[in-house]
């Protein structure tokens, strides 16, 4: 414990020392205190194991931190043990897509006519061709319909088709998720509104009025292929059944209250997009037959097309909002270009693992998807840090990573904190990850990865309770506090 000395005591002590040394023989060493080295203050910084113990997470915590420029490893624990990375996997997907497709790549959705056009009449079929665009929305489909009218198209003699065969059919990203969660929709070569449909309900007397639509900031077309019925029960809240050409949902009356809304996943992406386009075309004076889904793109004339934003912008938004469908679609698009159409989502992830070994030098990456939603994915902290160090060489990742603020005890951002962090978060029930770059006060840049997982507790959660299991929120909050304390430790120890 430090003691406080009065000014009088200090001067007396100084005088006594001066008198003694004046009478003594010349000193053989400096009278100044011996230098304690630049590391003496670090003894007051919390030990990493103490930080981890205080978090009370159970399971295992794995971490690694290295100099981002040289790759020199500074610290680590359990860094070679594979752990579910959750959405941290999206950072690898971003590197994969940038490497294979390029930052300026754009996805194109087309409307194709077969059989030619004569006098404003399509003699054959009209085909909406999916180009793998994860950002296609109702506004874009409305623009395509308007473009057809501007070309004078007023009638289609043949069928209306939707071609979705660019990617394999995936009923849900992760089969372990509840049916009703919007973050695990179906996948195919076309997606609309992140493959989510908007469900809204309002109490009207003793009944409920429900609607299913594909809303955007400009349009609100009703959706016929997604149906909702209110059921006289309290639980489960939602049920889903495949109706062939429809998604059939029920909701428990006891859970509805006076009104509300939420997004539900779409299980038939091509029919969904076709349903909405049919409505928007009708608003432009074109009556189309009910959509048919085809896997192959017919030969014909492109009448209208819509291009997405550039890939770099798409990936920046993906990393910021952690959209699973974006990760899966850009990952599969990269696989299509690299090795051809994959047989499944897992096959596409396996191809990305191969790329990571060759391009990033990883050795133990075992991802089963591109988003990290599947908890069968495994990644080591060492592999993640190695990938970050390699990516630092051309600085493609850090500029599109989300800034992560340091928080005070009330969870408010601390202004002018000496450590700056750009990273990707990852959260599943009883799984928390954070990986990216940090810059200390003195400018030292570090690459780090922190993976925490209580897999035993997670395994005990039933599928029906995976949306909000008891204890998961507080566990995640403690994991985030631990992550910040480790980062602040590294900033103090290795950046001062």
CATH number reported for the structural domain that contains residue 75 in this entry: 3.40.710.10
Residue 328 · residue 191 · CB < 8 Å: no
Q: DSSP class of residue 125?
A: -
Residue 321 is assigned to a structural domain of this protein: no
Three-state DSSP class for residue 147: helix
User: Domain check: are 192 and 147 in the same one?
Assistant: yes
The verdict on whether omega for the bond into residue 475 sits within 30 degrees of 0, i.e. cis, is no
Q: How far apart are CA 436 and CA 358, in angstroms?
A: 21
Q: What pLDDT score does 42 carry?
A: 55
User: Domain check: are 68 and 146 in the same one?
Assistant: no
User: Domain check: are 223 and 371 in the same one?
Assistant: no
Residue 339 is assigned to a structural domain of this protein: no
User: Domain check: are 276 and 372 in the same one?
Assistant: no
Number of neighbours of residue 297 by Cβ within 10 angstroms: 18
Q: Which residues of the chain have pLDDT under 50?
A: 1-38, 40-41
User: Domain check: are 292 and 421 in the same one?
Assistant: no
Looking at 290, 308, 326, which one is the last position of a domain?
308
Q: What pLDDT score does 17 carry?
A: 33
Residue 322 is assigned to a structural domain of this protein: no
Residue 324 is assigned to a structural domain of this protein: no
Q: State both tokens at 204.
A: 């009207």
Burial 11-30, CB ≥16 within 10 A → b, else e? eeeeeeeeeeeeeeeeeeee
Looking at 308, 324, 343, which one is the last position of a domain?
308
Q: What pLDDT score does 86 carry?
A: 98
Q: State both tokens at 480.
A: 């985030």
CATH code (residue 153): 3.50.80.20
User: Domain check: are 131 and 94 in the same one?
Assistant: no
Burial class (CB in 10 A: 0-12, 13-18, 19+), 164: buried
User: Domain check: are 399 and 452 in the same one?
Assistant: yes
Looking at 308, 327, 348, which one is the last position of a domain?
308
Residue 393 is assigned to a structural domain of this protein: yes
Residue 434 is assigned to a structural domain of this protein: yes
Q: What pLDDT score does 496 carry?
A: 73
Residue 435 is assigned to a structural domain of this protein: yes
Q: How far apart are CA 151 and CA 296, in angstroms?
A: 25
User: Domain check: are 185 and 289 in the same one?
Assistant: yes
Residue 15 is assigned to a structural domain of this protein: no
Which DSSP helix (H) or strand (E) runs through 478?
A: helix 472-494
Q: How far apart are CA 73 and CA 465, in angstroms?
A: 40
The model carries a pTM of 0.90
For residue 362, which of 348, 379, 344 has the smallest C-alpha distance?
379
- How far is CA 128 from each of CA 161, 297, 327, 456, rounded to the nearest angstrom? 6, 9, 23, 46
User: Domain check: are 132 and 52 in the same one?
Assistant: no
User: Domain check: are 194 and 68 in the same one?
Assistant: no
User: Domain check: are 146 and 267 in the same one?
Assistant: yes
What's the number of domains the chain is made of?
Answer: 2
pLDDT tens readout for residues 3-58:
333 333 333 333 333 333 332 333 333 333 344 444 544 556 889 999 999 999 99
Beta-sheet strand order (sheet of 207-213): 207-213, 196-204, 259-265
User: Domain check: are 60 and 125 in the same one?
Assistant: no
Q: State both tokens at 475.
A: 């566990």
Domain housing 283:
107-308
């Amino acid at each position: 414990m430090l003691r406080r000395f009065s000014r009088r005591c200090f001067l007396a002590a100084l005088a006594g020392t001066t008198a003694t040394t004046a009478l003594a023989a010349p000193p053989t060493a400096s009278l100044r205190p011996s230098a304690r080295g630049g590391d003496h203050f670090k003894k007051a910084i919390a030990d990493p194991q103490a930080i981890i113990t205080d978090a009370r997470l159970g399971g295992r915590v794995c971490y690694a931190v290295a100099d981002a420029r040289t790759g020199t490893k500074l610290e680590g624990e359990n860094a070679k043990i594979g752990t579910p990375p959750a959405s941290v996997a999206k950072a690898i997907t971003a590197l994969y897509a940038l490497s294979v497709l390029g930052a300026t790549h754009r996805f194109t959705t087309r409307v194709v006519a077969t059989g030619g056009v004569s006098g404003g009449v399509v003699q054959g079929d009209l085909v909406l061709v999916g180009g793998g665009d994860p950002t296609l929305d109702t506004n874009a489909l409305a623009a395509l319909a308007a473009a057809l009218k501007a070309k004078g198209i007023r009638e289609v003699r043949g069928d209306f088709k939707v071609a979705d065969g660019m990617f394999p059919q995936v009923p849900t990203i992760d089969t372990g998720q509840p049916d009703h969660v919007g973050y695990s929709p179906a996948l195919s070569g076309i997606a609309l509104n992140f493959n989510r449909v908007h469900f809204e309900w309002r109490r009207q007397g003793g009944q409920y009025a429900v609607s299913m639509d594909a809303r955007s900031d400009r349009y609100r077309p009703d959706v016929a292929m997604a149906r909702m019925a209110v059921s006289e029960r309290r639980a489960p809240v939602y049920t889903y059944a495949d109706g062939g050409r429809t998604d059939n949902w029920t909701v428990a009356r006891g859970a509805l209250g006076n009104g509300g809304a939420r997004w539900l996943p779409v299980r038939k992406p091509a029919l969904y997009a076709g349903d909405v386009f049919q409505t928007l075309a009708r608003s432009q004076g074109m009556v189309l037959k009910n959509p048919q889904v085809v896997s192959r793109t017919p030969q014909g004339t492109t009448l209208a097309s819509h291009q997405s934003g550039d890939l770099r912008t798409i990936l920046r938004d993906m990393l910021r909002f952690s959209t699973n469908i974006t990760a899966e679609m850009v990952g599969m698009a990269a696989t299509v270009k690299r090795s051809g159409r994959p047989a499944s989502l897992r096959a596409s992830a396996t191809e990305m693992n191969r790329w990571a070994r060759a391009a990033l030098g990883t050795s133990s990456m075992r991802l089963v998807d591109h988003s990290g939603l599947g908890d069968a994915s495994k990644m080591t902290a060492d592999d993640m840090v190695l990938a970050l160090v390699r990516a630092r060489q051309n600085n493609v990742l850090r500029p599109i990573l989300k800034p992560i603020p340091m928080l005070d005890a009330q969870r408010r951002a601390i202004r002018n904190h000496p450590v700056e962090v750009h990273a990707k978060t990852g959260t599943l029930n009883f799984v928390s990850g954070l990986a990216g770059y940090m810059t200390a006060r003195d400018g030292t840049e570090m690459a780090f990865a922190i993976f925490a997982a209580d897999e035993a507790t997670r395994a005990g959660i039933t599928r029906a309770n995976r949306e909000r299991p008891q204890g998961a929120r507080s566990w995640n909050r403690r994991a985030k506090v631990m992550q910040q304390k480790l980062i602040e430790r590294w900033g103090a120890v290795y950046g001062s």
